[in-house]
C-alpha cells in the first residue's frame, strides 16, 4: 500500500481519505532490529530467511532494495492520509512498522501506532475471537470513521 501511494503521488492520483497498515513490510533490506531479535518468536513469519528473503528477491528482482517503491520506508510521506498502524511485540516486522510510523509523524501526518503485547505477525487476522483482534477491529473502525468524512 505504501509503494502504491508513492506511485499515486507520482501520477497525480488522489489519495484515499485514510490508510490502514497492518504490520507493513516496508524495508526489504533487513535493517530493522526485530528481524533479528524476534527471530523464532514470530509464530507466523518465524525468521527472515526462507519466506521473507525469497519473497524479497522475487519482488525486487534486479532493482535496488533501497528504492522507495521496493522498500517504502525510504520514501517521502508528506501529504499522506491519516494512517492507522498495527503490530505486535513478537512481530518480525515490528521495527518496519515503527519506522514507518516515525516517518509519517516526521512528515506531520496523523498516524496512530498500536502495538499489542505478545502478538506475532498478523495474529489478529488469524485468531479473530481474541480480545486483541476485537480491539484492533474496534479501534480501526473508530479511526476510519473519524478520518473518512
Residue 138 has pLDDT above 80, yes or no: yes
pLDDT 10s digits, 19-62? 999 999 999 999 999 999 999 999 888 888 888 889 999 999 99
88 and 115 Cβ atoms separated by less than 8 Å: yes
Confidence of residue 124 (pLDDT cuts 50, 70, 90): confident
Residue 146 has pLDDT above 80, yes or no: yes
Closest alpha carbon to 70 in 101, 31, 25, 109: 25
Mean pLDDT score, 10-15: 96
Q: What is the CATH number of domain 2-147?
A: 3.40.50.1820
Mean pLDDT score, 119-132: 86
Domain ranges of the chain: 2-147
Amino acid at each position: 500500500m505504501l509503494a502504491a501511494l508513492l506511485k499515486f503521488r507520482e501520477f497525480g492520483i488522489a489519495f484515499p481519505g485514510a490508510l490502514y497498515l497492518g504490520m507493513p513490510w516496508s524495508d526489504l533490506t533487513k535493517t530493522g532490529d526485530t528481524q533479528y531479535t524476534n527471530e523464532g518468536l514470530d509464530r507466523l513469519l518465524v525468521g527472515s530467511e526462507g519466506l521473507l528473503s525469497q519473497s524479497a528477491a522475487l519482488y525486487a528482482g534486479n532493482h535496488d532494495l533501497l528504492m522507495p517503491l521496493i522498500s517504502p520506508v525510504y520514501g517521502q510521506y508528506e501529504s499522506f492520509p491519516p494512517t492507522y498502524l498495527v503490530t505486535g511485540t513478537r512481530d518480525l516486522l515490528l521495527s518496519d512498522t515503527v519506522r514507518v510510523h516515525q516517518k509519517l509523524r516526521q512528515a506531520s501526518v496523523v498516524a496512530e501506532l498500536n502495538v499489542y503485547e505478545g502478538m506475532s505477525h498478523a495474529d489478529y487476522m488469524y485468531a479473530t475471537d481474541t480480545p486483541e483482534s476485537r480491539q484492533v477491529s474496534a479501534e480501526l473502525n473508530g479511526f476510519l470513521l473519524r478520518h473518512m468524512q
